Amino acid sequence: MSIETLSWVGDVSDGFLRLIDQTLLPLELRTIDCRNVESVWEAIKQLRVRGAPAIGIAAAYGMVVGVQNVGAGLFEKRLYDVAQYLASSRPTAVNLFWAIDRMKHRFESVKELTSDGNTEVVSRILEELFLEARKIHEEDRTICRAIGNFGQSIIKNGDTFITHCNAGGLATADYGTALAVFFTAAELGKRIAVYADETRPLLQGARLTAWELMQRGISATLICDSMAAMVMRQGKINGVIVGADRIAANGDTANKIGTYGLAVSAHVHGIPFYIAAPVSTFDLMLSDGLRIPIEERGADEICCGFGVRTAPEGVAVYNPAFDVTPANFITGIITERGIISPVNKENIEKIIS
């Protein structure tokens, strides 16, 4: 089953972004239409669209809808206001800022045209921005397939892996990052099984990853996050593959909360631990993971998950959405350009540069 997480509908001048509302899965598969930048911001903030690559694509299209019907005299200011607004939606996933920067750079290459004040010229600039957003979208499809092709080489027939959160088609333009490795291995005829951590507190593993694996006909077993170490100790696991939201220059990696604990357990049990992520997820401006900003989300996600209170009123809550896994716990990083292993600054620079 092919999952179209995001798509553009209509013409450039009056079209809009359509995306799957992932907060409703797996009980309901429904799309929502984002016809203005506010709805794109809300979709990113509320995790209707999530996963670092998908967030970047949504932001790129969000910049297009944000400058539709804007005159030449106001175009530049509006574009930069939209960029700043979208950048405020979520702080950790670097693909968001990477995509926004690409859109700004595209505008800078053609912005002199706005000085004419001609309506046709403004339409041309809007078209250029749309083409850049479309390029980001299409590039991600190719990247997903390349990650899958490189990653499947680490999987042997009969292997069982654990994954955490959701790094599949719902998190990208096409095939996913971590799940792309499993999908590709299965397509090549390898018999594999995957344990999916439920991923507290929003259950992306239970709601999204288990659903995607089942859609693809891959053997999937759902476990609570706290069960992973026991499953490893029982000898059921051959490896771990997860996605990433930001990777520092030394290989320290931010991913969904709970990933660090999974990496520690894998390290203790001698199980290889892999990250699957596109090159755009690297932030070489940050020397190490201590400098990665970690998003903190509201207390209700823990106390009142999915509308049901499970904690006493007034209890203090700490809810970081991500944690950072040190590079020395990572066996390799699977990118569209190859696998980085061992994970260190020198090897990362060889792949990224």
Which of these is catalytic: 140, 174, 197, 245? 245
Beta-carbon contacts of 38 under 8 Å, excluding residues fewer than 6 positions away, are none
Per-residue pLDDT at 140: 96
Per-residue pLDDT at 73: 85
The DSSP annotation for 179-246 comes to HHHHHHHHHTT---EEEEE--TTTTHIIIIIHHHHHHTT-EEEEE-GGGHHHHHHTT--SEEEE--SE
Per-residue pLDDT at 118: 59
Contact 244, 52 (CB under 8 A): yes
Per-residue pLDDT at 24: 95
Per-residue pLDDT at 114: 54
115 pLDDT exceeds 60?
A: no
Mean pLDDT (whole number) for 150-163: 98
Mean pLDDT (whole number) for 335-339: 98
56 pLDDT exceeds 70?
A: yes
pTM: 0.92
Each residue's pLDDT tens digit, 271-281? 999 999 999 99
Region(s) of the chain under CATH 1.20.120.420:
6-146
Does 312 sit behind a cis peptide bond, omega within 30 degrees of 0 on the bond before it? no
Q: Where are the beta strands (DSSP E) in 63-213?
A: 160-163, 193-197
Mean pLDDT (whole number) for 233-240: 98
CA dihedral of 37, 38, 39, 40, whole degrees rounded to 10: 50
- Higher pLDDT, residue 201 or 72: 201
Per-residue pLDDT at 75: 92
Q: How many CA atoms lie less than 13 Å away from 31 in the CB half-sphere?
A: 14
Distances in Å between the Cα of 328 and the Cα atoms of 226, 261, 274, 287, 324 are 22, 14, 11, 15, 12
Mean pLDDT (whole number) for 102-118: 79
CA-to-CA distance for 328 and 55, rounded, in angstroms?
Answer: 28
Mean pLDDT (whole number) for 223-241: 98
Mean pLDDT over all residues of the chain?
A: 95
Mean pLDDT (whole number) for 9-27: 96
The DSSP annotation for 13-59 comes to TT-EEEEE-TTSTTT---EEEE-SHHHHHHHHHTTSS-SHHHHHHHH
Q: Which of 115-119, 218-222, 246-250, 292-296 has the lowest mean pLDDT?
A: 115-119
Local confidence band at 353 (pLDDT 50, 70, 90 cut-offs): confident
Per-residue pLDDT at 72: 82
Q: β-strands 332-335, 338-340: how paired? A: antiparallel
Local confidence band at 116 (pLDDT 50, 70, 90 cut-offs): low
Mean pLDDT (whole number) for 123-132: 95
Per-residue pLDDT at 313: 96
**CATH hierarchy code of domain 150-352:** 3.40.50.10470
Residue 245 annotated among the catalytic residues of the structure: yes
**CATH hierarchy code of domain 6-146:** 1.20.120.420
**Pick from 14, 168, 172: nearest CA to 95:** 172
Mean pLDDT (whole number) for 66-90: 94
Scanning the structure block, which residue is given the tokens 């016809």? 35
Per-residue pLDDT at 296: 97
**pLDDT above 90 coverage of the chain, percent:** 92
Q: How many CB atoms lie within 10 A of CB 110?
A: 14
Scanning the structure block, which residue is given the tokens 């790129």? 60
Contact 121, 129 (CB under 8 A): no
Each residue's pLDDT tens digit, 283-333? 999 999 999 999 999 999 999 999 999 999 999 999 999 999 999 999 999
